[in-house]
Amino acid sequence: PYQAFPAADGPLMVAVGTDGQFQALCRALGREELAGDPRFATNPDRVRNRELLVELLTEVFRARPRAEWTALLKEAGIPAGPVNTLGELFADPGLVGRLLVEVEHPTVGRYRTVACPLPGAWAPSELPPPRLGEHTAAVLERLGIRRG
């Protein structure tokens, strides 16, 4: 299973790509019998029986909140984490310092936005977006178009 599942308090992304990870997932969920089930023994088997497997796992994941699942699955070596809403993203102190920046916009004032993820990218993420038409003359000039 490589998808989002509904946990008790919202969606949880789980990324199980190998047979070993699936076995670890089943142990972590307390559903070891699924790892031994011939319908789910290999990745092709799980794909063939995906609908049933997703139904069984959904029932398990609904029982606990995302934070509990994330901690439990991390300990088991399973890539997993909450699918955050924008509100949750902007409220997460671990992400705010790394992924969000405050910028000053001439019309709306200060606000937080997503930082540019590329170090040394062509445009610093600290710059606000331009106002409508702010760079039109410069762009047209670079294209060799004269306004007149």
Q: Are residues 9 and 72 in the same domain?
A: yes
Whether residue 30 is contained in a domain is answered as: yes
Whether residue 148 is contained in a domain is answered as: no
Q: Are residues 11 and 72 in the same domain?
A: yes
Q: Judge whether 46 and 1 are in contact, CB under 8 Å.
A: yes
Q: Which residue has the tokens 């990218």?
A: 121
The DSSP 8-state label assigned to residue 65 in this structure reads -
Retrieve residue 97's tokens. 């310092």
| Neighbour tally for 74: CB within 10 Å | 13
Model's pTM, two decimal places? 0.69
User: Strand locations in 8-115, DSSP E?
Assistant: 10-15, 80-82, 100-105, 109-114
Q: How many domains does the chain have?
A: 2
What are the pLDDT tens digits along the chain (148 aa)? 999 999 999 999 999 999 999 999 999 999 999 999 999 999 999 999 999 999 999 999 999 999 999 999 999 999 999 999 988 877 888 777 777 778 888 888 888 777 776 666 544 555 677 889 988 988 999 999 987 6
